[in-house]
Amino acid sequence: MTQREIFLQHVAQTSEAPLCFEVSKAEGVYLFDQSGKKHIDLIGGISVCNIGHGNEKVKDAIKTQVDHYLHVMVYGEVIQSPQVQYAKALAEHLPPELQCVYFTNSGTEATEGAMKLAKRVTQRSKIISFKNSYHGSTQGALSVMGSEYWQQAYRPLLPDVYQFNYNDQEVLHAIDTHTACVILEPVQSEAGVIIPDKKWVQAIRKKCDEMGVFLIFDEIQTAFGRTGSLFRFSKLSITPDILLLGKALGGGMPMGAFISNKEVMDTLMFNPVLGHITTFGGHPVCCAAGLAAFNVLLDEKLIPQVKKKEDLFRKLLLHPAILSLNSCGLLMALHFESYETNKKIIDTCLRNGLFTDWFLFASNALRIAPPLTISEREIEEACGILLRSIDEITGQQ
């Protein structure tokens, strides 16, 4: 059997038509197939590979930690230097309200932990989320996902969850003394990069304060420079009660986190003890890789370059078939007339040496979320391939 046949037969599939792109190597902003052909990576592992593929400092950190120890004990029982050092580094770049880190295996698990924490502290069950939002795919996270299409096959889900339209004032009337938390993306990524009104978010913050409600910010896709700031919430002039991280947090290794203040987090220690527990969360190799990637991001001053690179994409990506281009830093969505057109363009891009995909709640939109290390020359090359691919499908010049 070929690798492709084994993949389709023995690796559980998530769709009827996977890309089946067989990766042999990844380096910088490039993915290489089995023939050695290179493809510019415009997905970045879905906002994971912010500092590019195969960074030497990250690989060295992984190798060094492997020589010391791998898993030794379930989370929270023993002192592991990579966990301690990474938590300290994150805290140094976060406000006083966000100083206590709980490392998980993924962003989805961070969502689960945050919901439990909010319910534990408030002793309430009502949760508010938003339509076309994405917070993960486990049953709790799925309960606050903003789409009945993905929920309908798995009901019953969590009760007492209420969803509202993003940027709609109606949600302010629903935040009350029965509400445990409001979970919000500071940019709706999977909806096709929708940016919230700053005053709307600030009004939610104010109402949550008045009602004793936890405001959870899901920055799993937006954090670590993707939108042009280390954390997107800083541009909204508010601080959430709980911050969710994932994707780029692990530097290419599986990792997530939910972060709050020490007093709030300490409620997970008693009644019951082990109020939230994980075996592999904060794995020492993942923490070592994540910390190394975090330092590369800061030391190489990648974040200040994001706006200029965003502007270059916007300048170059002009075509009659592109209905709109939504962007927040290097998180961008090109909207076409239909999913069918978008899918043909995506497939053509792959044949032409460009790797990209679509958005869950905006299937007519093509995703651009490259490593933040992408150069201006590579942006020009990527845009050239993309425009030629659009021409091949639409016939428009």
Considering all CA atoms of the chain, what is the largest pairwise distance in Å, rounded to the nearest integer?
66
Report the candidate in 140, 259, 270, 120 with the shortest Cα–Cα distance to residue 180.
120
pLDDT tens for residues 272-289? 999 999 999 999 999 999
Polymer length in residues for the chain: 397
Q: Domains of the chain, with CATH numbers? A: 3-55+301-394 (3.90.1150.10), 56-299 (3.40.640.10)
| CB-based contacts of 356, cutoff 8 Å, min separation 6 | 42, 43, 346, 349, 350, 366, 367, 368, 386
In the prediction, which pLDDT does 264 show?
Answer: 97
DSSP string, 201-270: HHHHHHHHHHHT-EEEEE-TTTTTTTTSSSSGGGGGT---SEEEE-GGGGBTB--EEEEE-HHHHGGGGS
The model's pLDDT over 119-133, given as tens digits with 9 standing for 90+, comes to 999 999 999 999 999
Q: How many CB atoms lie within 10 A of CB 304?
A: 10
Q: What is the mean pLDDT of residues 245-273?
A: 97
* 167-176 LR contacts (CB < 8 Å, sep 24+): 167/194, 167/196, 167/197, 167/200, 169/200, 169/203, 171/128, 171/130, 171/204, 172/203, 172/204, 172/207, 174/128, 175/128, 175/204, 175/207, 175/208, 175/211, 175/213, 176/126, 176/211
Q: Alpha helix locations (H) across the chain?
A: 3-10, 44-47, 56-68, 81-92, 107-122, 139-143, 148-151, 171-174, 198-211, 262-265, 284-299, 306-316, 339-351, 376-394
Helix axes 339-351, 376-394, angle to 10 degrees: 120
| CB distance 59 to 27 below 8 Å | no
Helix H or strand E encompassing 103 = strand 100-104
Phi, psi (degrees; rounded to nearest 5) at 260: -150, -160
Report the pLDDT value the prediction gives residue 397, as an integer from 0 to 100: 41
Is residue 63 scored above 90 in pLDDT? yes
**Cβ partners under 8 Å of residue 373, min gap 6:** 28, 29, 50, 51, 52, 300, 302
Q: Which of these ranges, 8-22, 45-59, 216-230, has the smallest mean pLDDT? A: 8-22
Distance in angstroms (rounded) separating the CA atoms of residues 162 and 268: 25
Rounded average pLDDT over 201-224: 98
Enumerate residues 6+ apart whose C-beta is below 8 A from 16.
none
Continuous segment of H or E residues that includes residue 38 = strand 38-41
CB-based contact 369:44 (threshold 8 Å)? yes
Q: What is the mean pLDDT of residues 175-182?
A: 98
pLDDT band at 396 (very low <50, low <70, confident <90, very high): low
Q: In this predicted model, what pLDDT tens digit does every residue of 301-332 receive, in sequence order?
A: 999 999 999 999 999 999 999 999 999 999 99
Q: Which residues share a beta bridge with 256?
A: 104
Strands of 38-41's sheet in order across: 23-27, 30-33, 38-41, 354-355
Q: Is the pLDDT of residue 336 over 50?
A: yes
What mean pLDDT is predicted for residues 180-195? 98
Q: Supply angle C-alpha 103, 272, 115, rounded to 5.
A: 50
Q: What is the pLDDT of residue 1?
A: 87
